[in-house]
């Protein structure tokens, strides 16, 4: 998007807040006027690709979703002619046979004008993408117009920036049932992601039925795995939505669950023995079976975080390394990877692995996925490998959307690559490691933040405005609920569980400025796949909207202090003090909430301190006020019950801005 | 339940508000103490019926639901011995083979004590029922106890009052997809209902695939029907939960959808021709096919509301009646019914029909379902027929739960029956006719009110306390959400749709005292199966809890006026005035909400009038105040946008209580 385009985008967003397109398209023009969506809505599809199964199912879904978004009693009516159709879909040609491929054409154009609505694409995938954009445009008419729904006049031409736009989803640490995967695929398709990287095995469990090695699921899954029928269903469900499924079976490390089932493969706890012929024989059988089950060309073998200790301490392995002239554990893993790569080649698959697999004599078709960062990614690209960035996109670290949004696969070290090398950066993947995510709160840990990352992968590089992103993210978050995503509703239920038979309102209001602690703090405190996740920290979103808005308001106030803003900040903080008082009976009555009592006290302290700071304004406080206030903030900012108070940094800014007496 | 039992119940409810059992069991004793539910929860089932498939699946569901209710990471672990189990289940013997039958044993006992938790039943159905009671007992520990969940020490012995406890669900006027039916079955099982009466055909559509007469679904369903595979799945799903599925195919009236497909069966619009051999030949084929698909012994043929006009005006039908000595249309329908009854007998089915089928020479095995009322039901019982009451239980009329709760199958005319005749009253069925219900808001139209009716059918006759019912109904309503029922969440989404990109809070707060108009008022205004149901009236519950509580508070105040209550009423009404102002920007911005603006004005008028009334208290107002106030209330009580303001009658009471000047 050119700078002019960006300005137009900003203007559009300002004028029509409901035009909450996300990812923002490559090119958007808006014209005055709208077309109504009414109960007679119909579709006519034409062109060489109109008979494609994905086009047909996408149109069926369009009707169902439009009915939900509008409440209109829509039946999936195909018009008998283009003239009689509310929406004309033209798709030039069908696709190649076989599974969806990297780089398949996703371009589309969407025009809404007095002449009607027209979605056109060269290929079926473009229709799948364009329908999502169309659905994002539907909004209720403003008062004054007829009661009902419409889409604005627009002209959109759109295509993705990167061909590989993924979510890496760990279903080993916490198993996610099929309906959760399908919901996630719905959400991914809605924001135009196109790869589900399915992390199917790890120490905690292997999650796919093997008919060849049934002990894997019998002993390595606690009964929580996908049958092969379910896998085929999920792959088909994904394909319908233009999403490739890339399986990952992590090896030779992170493999405790395999080794429980087949101990003879082990070199030590959680790591395979790469010196035994039997290991390669087993993996040949397993990969052959899985290669059939997952039709995608790419196959992920993990390869991360192998602890060299278990190899180094075994004399037999040492002898093998010496014989094979392998200097260290890394070279032994390289040897393992090369053999795996050959096996995968036999099954017509290309290998993907994490940074650690990178080594000079690896075939250049092998794709490197970087969890270590752009430097490692750039190195892979220089060596000739395609690369995918995941570092910076770890949703499980509970960072705010803006932080992920600022990470670009072609910034930092990768920006120094030649244009040729840069072409090897195929895109990126958000990652959701599930130590702390459960089937119950997965949606809330993915959404809406994942939509911001999806925009990074799809939209032009220049689309970076934080404020616009957050506005559209809020709209997108609401829109996604029509798909049945539970990021709001399940957290509400969890808070109802906490509140027992008491009203949830005070808890909801109190929790709006709380956030879970970030990074691996909870992991270090012993939370893992076997603990209960039914505390308040599990029942709130990763990011506090109210906290962010308050922080923005404080920044504005500090740039231009004035009485109106001061009063508004004061009023807001007073409400939070009242809220912290109103929630006390709840916290005092329910055993699981007791741990949150000190947080309510800390909120009150913070807000009182903030109010004092605003009251002093530009006047000087008593000499000892500021150190006392800063100490109070420091104490209130301690992590209690694994919660953080999102407004603490902004309150600190307010205090720091108060001039000292002697200034 | 004896009176002593009732007192114990009231005491239990008062002491432990979380013990929100519904339906209230036949006998409950509570003792001090609780047993913890923790992550090691396990079950051991023993006895001759432990291997029954329903017992096994019920235990699997128990684990999944307990995990949701507590947030504990529960795996479905069967203990290897009774000693090691958290919950012991003893089920004396398995059941007869074949489909569930009327009167199958549903008794169970549930004991929780220091010795552990024990659920015992003679038969599998008792286990299915008892598990629901067990799940209703789970609550969070109070503060002071360990953080977690527990069940109280109880001794419960329970059995149903009536053997036929049903919901008649109309899926013809609005089709409900399979997942909606399954959700409904989950909810029914939770409140111990045991019959899904599936109204599968009516003028608007026939909803089951016929392989013998495929034109039925091709021409009579708009593509919205259950395949036979889906029917079998739903029947199995219901059986797992102890619910029989009784199909209804309405004939000879209410049959437009059949006649579109097979016009030769018609005597006129919407009515079959009962004089043609071909009609009976067709029905024999159809009923034979459906008799196999639905295994229940009972089969409902509708038989209601036949318009005699189309028969009377046809000379050929007249000639037939003369020849057969049938004096009028009613006798012709009787002739039709007798032939149908024989056909059903051939397929080993017993016939059920609405009141109109009653006639002297009908076999006494035929069951009469009464939509007309207890008088008609009593008449059927006197004649020797089994009967089911539906009159008074029509949920689509949007009446409050208390109104349905007060209707008893053995009160009114049926109370005059002999004990022998009373035994023929098998129970009742709530009915949900779906002119105005859609897949989106069905749950909200069923729940929680259906739970109050379920209690009427299950619990002892003496359980009638309105206040206790409402307390437990609120708890039950929250509890049902763990099953995935959407009575709250979908209405929230619908209000979000109305609010567009604006905050929903003010709309939610404003709507809490609104109710949809009652009875058939909307039907008369032209709302039907083809209109959109996306207005505010469609997005609120049938009954306003806030309105009911205000009304109760007003009653208490009027019995004993005092300053504290007066102030509380005044404060409440002031908040509603503020709410009516706060929602204005929303109503003014969104085209579908514009119609609600006058309702907001009316709320403000009502509340101002109510505040005046409380302010006058026992002092006398100006002479013209009362007539003006009453006129204002009358105007504010007009139905606008198909909405009623639930507090209007209570405000009127307040005004009427103000003494006139000359008193």
Average pLDDT over residues B56-81: 93
Pairing state between β B116-121 and A139-140: unpaired
Q: Inspect the interface and report whether the beta carbons of B438 and A73 lie closer than 8 Å.
A: yes
Report the phi/psi class of residue B249: left, alpha or beta, with left for phi > 0 and alpha for psi in -120 to 50: beta
Q: Inspect the interface and report whether the beta carbons of A501 and B478 lie closer than 8 Å.
A: yes
Residue A18 confidence (pLDDT) above 60? no
Enumerate the residues of chain B whose CB falls inside 8 A of the CB of residue A78: none
Give the pLDDT confidence of A575-606 residue by residue, as tens digits.
999 999 999 999 999 999 999 999 999 999 99
Residue B662 confidence (pLDDT) above 80? no
pLDDT at B16 (0 to 100) = 54
- Closest residue in chain B to residue A148, using alpha carbons only: B592
pLDDT band for position A166 (50/70/90)? very high
Q: Inspect the interface and report whether the beta carbons of B498 and A140 lie closer than 8 Å.
A: yes
Shortest distance between the Cα of B502 and any Cα of chain A, in A, equals 10
Cα–Cα distance measured from residue B464 to residue B468, given in angstroms and rounded to the nearest whole number: 8
Shortest distance between the Cα of B494 and any Cα of chain A, in A, equals 8
Q: Inspect the interface and report whether the beta carbons of B588 and A143 lie closer than 8 Å.
A: yes
Enumerate the residues of chain A whose CB falls inside 8 A of the CB of residue B501: 17-18, 20, 139, 475, 478
- Closest residue in chain A to residue B38, using alpha carbons only: A532
The pTM of the full predicted model, rounded to 2 decimals, is 0.95
pLDDT at A6 (0 to 100) = 45
Enumerate the residues of chain A whose CB falls inside 8 A of the CB of residue B444: none
Q: Inspect the interface and report whether the beta carbons of A494 and B71 lie closer than 8 Å.
A: yes
pLDDT at B469 (0 to 100) = 96
**Which of the residue ranges A300-309, B123-132, B182-191 would you say has the lowest mean pLDDT?**
A300-309
- Closest residue in chain A to residue B483, using alpha carbons only: A493
The closest CB to that of B145, out of A72, A492, A591, belongs to A591
The ipTM (two decimal places) reads 0.92
pLDDT at B405 (0 to 100) = 98
Q: Inspect the interface and report whether the beta carbons of A591 and B493 lie closer than 8 Å.
A: no
Cβ-based neighbours of B51, under 8 Å, separated by 6 or more: B94
User: Catalytic residue among A15, A179, A305, A588, which?
Assistant: A305
Residue A9 confidence (pLDDT) above 60? no
Q: Inspect the interface and report whether the beta carbons of A501 and B71 lie closer than 8 Å.
A: no
Cα–Cα distance measured from residue B599 to residue B510, given in angstroms and rounded to the nearest whole number: 10
Cα–Cα distance measured from residue A362 to residue A527, given in angstroms and rounded to the nearest whole number: 38
Residue A635 confidence (pLDDT) above 80? yes
Q: Inspect the interface and report whether the beta carbons of B591 and A532 lie closer than 8 Å.
A: no
What are the two backbone dihedrals, phi and then psi, of residue B423, each rounded to the nearest 5 degrees?
-60, -20
Average pLDDT, chain A: 94
Residues 461-520 of A with CB under 8 A from B: 475, 478, 481-482, 489, 492-494, 496-498, 500-501
- Which helix (H) or strand (E) covers residue A346, if one does? helix A329-346
Residue A137 confidence (pLDDT) above 50? yes
Residues 229-288 of B with CB under 8 A from A: none
| Residue A31: alpha-carbon gap to chain centroid | 33
Mapped onto helix, strand or coil, the DSSP state of residue A450 is helix
Note whether A101 contacts B: Cβ–Cβ < 8 A.
no
Q: Residue by residue, what is the 3-state secondary structure of A357-369?
A: HCCCCCCCCCEEE
pLDDT at B551 (0 to 100) = 98
Average pLDDT over residues A164-182: 97
Q: Inspect the interface and report whether the beta carbons of B146 and A494 lie closer than 8 Å.
A: no
Cβ-based neighbours of A273, under 8 Å, separated by 6 or more: A252, A265, A266, A267, A279, A317
DSSP state for residue B78 in the 8-state scheme:
B
Q: Inspect the interface and report whether the beta carbons of B493 and A500 lie closer than 8 Å.
A: no
**Which of the residue ranges A56-60, A608-612, A617-621, B401-405 would you say has the lowest mean pLDDT?**
A617-621
Q: Inspect the interface and report whether the beta carbons of A530 and B141 lie closer than 8 Å.
A: no
pLDDT band for position B661 (50/70/90)? low
Cα–Cα distance measured from residue A207 to residue A216, given in angstroms and rounded to the nearest whole number: 9
pLDDT at B11 (0 to 100) = 52
The closest CB to that of B533, out of A71, A591, A593, belongs to A71
pLDDT at A12 (0 to 100) = 52
- Closest residue in chain B to residue A534, using alpha carbons only: B71
Cross-strand pairs, A246: A197
- Taking one residue from A and the other from B, the number of pairs with CB-CB distance under 8 angstroms is 135
B305 is known as an active-site residue: yes
Q: Inspect the interface and report whether the beta carbons of B143 and A593 lie closer than 8 Å.
A: yes
Average pLDDT over residues B421-425: 97
Residue positions counted in chain A: 663
pLDDT at B76 (0 to 100) = 83
Pairing state between β B425-432 and B164-170: parallel
Give the pLDDT confidence of B575-606 residue by residue, as tens digits.
999 999 999 999 999 999 999 999 999 999 99
Residue A646 confidence (pLDDT) above 50? yes
Shortest distance between the Cα of A442 and any Cα of chain B, in A, equals 13
Using a pLDDT cut of 70, give the percent of chain A over it: 97
Residues 332-361 of B with CB under 8 A from A: none
Cα–Cα distance measured from residue A10 to residue A16, given in angstroms and rounded to the nearest whole number: 10
Residue B14 confidence (pLDDT) above 80? no
Give the pLDDT confidence of B612-650 residue by residue, as tens digits.
999 997 778 998 999 999 999 999 999 999 999 999 999
Cβ-based neighbours of A467, under 8 Å, separated by 6 or more: none
Residue B51 confidence (pLDDT) above 80? yes
Q: Inspect the interface and report whether the beta carbons of A147 and B592 lie closer than 8 Å.
A: yes
DSSP E strands in B269-393: the ranges are: 271-272, 298-300, 350-354, 367-370, 387-389
The closest CB to that of A500, out of B18, B71, B494, belongs to B18
Cα–Cα distance measured from residue A7 to residue A185, given in angstroms and rounded to the nearest whole number: 32
Cα dihedral A412, A418, A421, A423 in deg (nearest 10): 90
- Closest residue in chain A to residue B18, using alpha carbons only: A501
Average pLDDT over residues B293-307: 94
Note whether A178 contacts B: Cβ–Cβ < 8 A.
no
Give the pLDDT confidence of B258-284 residue by residue, as tens digits.
999 999 999 988 899 999 999 999 999
CA angle (B286, B292, B297) in 5-degree steps: 105
Average pLDDT over residues B64-73: 96
Domains of chain A: 27-158 (3.30.379.10), 164-484 (3.20.20.80), 491-657 (no CATH)
Q: Which of B36, B140, B549 to mutate to test the interface with A (most CBs of A within 10 A)?
A: B140
Residues 121-140 of A with CB under 8 A from B: 139-140
User: Catalytic residue among B15, B179, B305, B461, which?
Assistant: B305
Cα–Cα distance measured from residue A177 to residue A171, given in angstroms and rounded to the nearest whole number: 9
Residues 419-448 of A with CB under 8 A from B: 438, 440
**Which of the residue ranges A120-124, A249-253, A265-269, B174-178 would you say has the lowest mean pLDDT?**
A265-269
Shortest distance between the Cα of A202 and any Cα of chain B, in A, equals 19
Give, in order, the Cα–Cα distances in Å from A155 to each of A26, A137, A561, B23, B569: 11, 12, 42, 58, 55
Give the pLDDT confidence of B233-256 residue by residue, as tens digits.
999 999 999 999 999 999 999 999
- Closest residue in chain A to residue B532, using alpha carbons only: A72
Q: Inspect the interface and report whether the beta carbons of B590 and A140 lie closer than 8 Å.
A: yes
- Closest residue in chain A to residue B68, using alpha carbons only: A440
- Which helix (H) or strand (E) covers residue A527, if one does? none
pLDDT band for position A17 (50/70/90)? very low
pLDDT at B6 (0 to 100) = 46
Candidates A635, A620, A626; CA nearest to A653 is: A626
Note whether A528 contacts B: Cβ–Cβ < 8 A.
no
Q: Inspect the interface and report whether the beta carbons of A589 and B142 lie closer than 8 Å.
A: yes
Enumerate the residues of chain A whose CB falls inside 8 A of the CB of residue B18: 500-501
Average pLDDT over residues B282-287: 98
| Residue B515: alpha-carbon gap to chain centroid | 18
Is the separation of the CB atoms in A250 and A271 below 8 Å?
A: no
Q: Which of B493, B509, B533, B584 to mutate to test the interface with A (most CBs of A within 10 A)?
A: B493
Cα–Cα distance measured from residue B156 to residue A569, given in angstroms and rounded to the nearest whole number: 55
């Amino acid at each position: 998007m050119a700078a002019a385009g960006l300005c137009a985008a900003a203007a559009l967003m300002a004028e029509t807040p409901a035009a909450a397109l996300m990812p923002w398209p490559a090119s958007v023009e808006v014209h005055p006027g709208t077309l109504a969506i009414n109960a007679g809505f119909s579709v006519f599809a034409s062109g060489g690709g109109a008979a494609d199964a994905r086009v047909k199912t996408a149109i069926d879904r369009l009707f169902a979703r439009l009915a939900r978004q509008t409440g209109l009693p829509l039946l999936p009516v195909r018009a008998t002619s283009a003239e009689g159709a509310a929406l004309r879909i033209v798709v030039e040609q069908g696709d190649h046979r076989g599974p969806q491929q990297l780089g398949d054409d996703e371009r589309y154009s969407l025009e809404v004008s007095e002449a009607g609505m027209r979605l056109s694409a060269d290929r079926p995938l473009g229709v799948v993408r364009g329908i999502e954009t169309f659905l994002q445009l539907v909004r209720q008419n403003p008062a004054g117009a007829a009661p009902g729904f419409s889409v604005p006049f627009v002209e959109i031409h759109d295509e993705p920036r990167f061909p590989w736009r993924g979510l890496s989803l760990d279903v080993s640490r916490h198993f996610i049932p099929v309906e959760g995967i399908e919901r996630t695929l719905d959400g991914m398709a809605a924001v135009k992601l196109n790869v589900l990287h399915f992390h199917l095995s790890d120490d905690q469990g292997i999650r796919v039925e093997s008919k060849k090695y049934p002990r894997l699921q019998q002993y390595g899954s606690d009964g929580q795995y996908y049958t092969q029928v379910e896998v085929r269903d999920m792959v088909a469900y994904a394909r319908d939505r233009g999403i490739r499924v890339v399986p990952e079976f992590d090896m030779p490390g992170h493999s405790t669950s395999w080794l429980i089932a087949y101990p003879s493969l082990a070199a030590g706890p959680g790591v395979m023995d790469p010196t035994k012929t039997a290991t390669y024989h087993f993996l040949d059988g397993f990969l052959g079976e899985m290669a059939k089950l997952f039709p995608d060309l790419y196959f992920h073998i993990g390869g991360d975080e192998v602890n060299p200790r278990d190899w180094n301490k075994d004399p037999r392995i040492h002898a093998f390394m010496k014989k094979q002239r392998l200097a260290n554990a890394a070279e032994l893993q390289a040897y393992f990877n090369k053999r795996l790569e050959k096996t995968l080649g036999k099954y017509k698959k290309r290998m993907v692995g994490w940074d650690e697999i990178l080594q000079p004599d690896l075939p250049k078709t092998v794709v490197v996925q970087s969890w270590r960062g752009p430097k490692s990614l750039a190195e892979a690209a220089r060596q000739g490998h395609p690369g995918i960035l995941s570092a910076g996109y770890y949703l499980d670290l509970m960072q705010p959307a803006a932080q992920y949004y600022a990470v670009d696969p072609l910034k930092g070290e990768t920006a120094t690559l030649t244009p040729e090398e840069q072409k090897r950066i195929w895109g990126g993947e958000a990652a959701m490691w599930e130590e702390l995510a459960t089937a119950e709160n997965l949606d809330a840990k993915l959404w809406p933040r994942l939509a911001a990352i999806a925009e990074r992968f799809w939209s032009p590089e220049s689309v970076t405005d934080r404020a616009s992103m957050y506005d559209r993210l809020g709209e997108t978050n609401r829109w996604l609920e029509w798909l049945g995503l539970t990021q709001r509703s399940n957290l509400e239920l969890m808070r109802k569980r906490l509140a027992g038979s008491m009203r949830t309102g005070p808890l909801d209001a109190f929790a709006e400025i709380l956030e879970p602690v970030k990074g691996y703090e909870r992991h270090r405190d012993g939370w893992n796949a076997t603990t209960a996740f039914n505390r308040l920290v599990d029942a709130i979103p990763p990011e506090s909207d109210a906290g962010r808005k308050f922080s923005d308001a404080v920044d504005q106030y500090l740039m231009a202090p004035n009485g109106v803003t001061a009063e508004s900040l004061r009023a807001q903080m007073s409400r939070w003090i009242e809220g912290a008082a109103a929630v006390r009976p709840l916290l005092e009555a329910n055993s699981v909430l007791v741990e949150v009592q000190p947080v309510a006290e800390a909120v009150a302290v913070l807000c009182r301190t903030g109010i004092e700071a605003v009251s002093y304004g530009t006047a000087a406080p008593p000499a000892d006020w500021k150190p006392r206030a800063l100490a109070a903030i420091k104490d209130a900012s301690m992590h209690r019950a694994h919660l953080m108070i999102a407004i603490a940094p902004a309150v600190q800014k307010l205090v720091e801005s108060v001039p000292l007496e002697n200034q």
